[in-house]
Structure 1
Amino acid sequence: MTQTIMTETRMRTAKFGLGAVVRHRIYPFRGIVFDVDPVFDNTEEWWLAIPEEVRPRKDQPFYHLLAENAESEYVAYVSEQNLVPDTSGEPLRHAGIAEVFQKDAEGRYRMRERVAN
């Protein structure tokens, strides 16, 4: 006799959308979301390099950010549990923002239209 095991598939909705301005809840950096992975999609080596006591769960959205801190601009990969909305209203300075986003009339960041080659 064959047994069928039903598993529950959980649909998760990302808390932050493309163009959302966020900050890390622990570390002093902020950025703008330019891509979202529904679950962890980086290397095991990258994940294991995070200290175990602060290592995030893999079963949550992970965000690609054009990030900045007081010293530099970079791309960050951050779990949803470690992000909060940035409501400071301070402008972002990351050089890559103008390539990917434009501000709308309300001051929100919107993805630029892409033209295929």
Structure 2
Amino acid sequence: MMAQPRFAIGEIVHHLKFDYRGVIIDVDAQYSGSEAWYEQVARSRPPKDAPWYHVLVDGAMHSTYVAERHLEAGDSSQQIEHPALGQFFDRFSSGRYHRRGMN
């Protein structure tokens, strides 16, 4: 049985190892990247059968793909800055981002 994701699209998170904030733009119930990427990048070998998240990194131009065990709830009192925010979200309220076309 797969674990339920702890975080949802639009939530602000903090990366425990690399100390950055970001906002979740997509959730995979389990790892869906390539074996080569996992071998090269996921050095701590996080579990593949737990949730993974696509995250826009605050103050950067890129996004990351992160295992749930490396994330915690982030400071949601401040918005993040990322040039792609508008592609995914149309507003920020109550400490989270809201997807385009969703209430």
TM range (shorter): 0.7 to 0.9
Q: Which structure has more strand as a fraction of its residues?
A: 2
1:49 correspondence with 2:37: no
Which has the higher Rg, Structure 1 or Structure 2? Answer: 1
Among candidates 25, 50, 55, match of residue 60 of structure 1: 50
* Matched residue type, 1:98: G
Query: Unpaired segments of 5 or more residues in structure 1?
Result: 1-9
Counterpart of 1:17 in structure 2 is 8
Which residues of structure 2 form unaligned runs of 5+? Answer: none
TM-score calculated relative to the size of structure 2: 0.86
Q: Number of aligned pairs? A: 102
What is the TM-score when the length of structure 1 is the normalising length? 0.77
Task: With a CA cutoff of 8 Å and minimum separation of 6, indicate the structure with the bigger relative contact order.
Answer: 2
| C-alpha RMSD of the superposition | 2.0
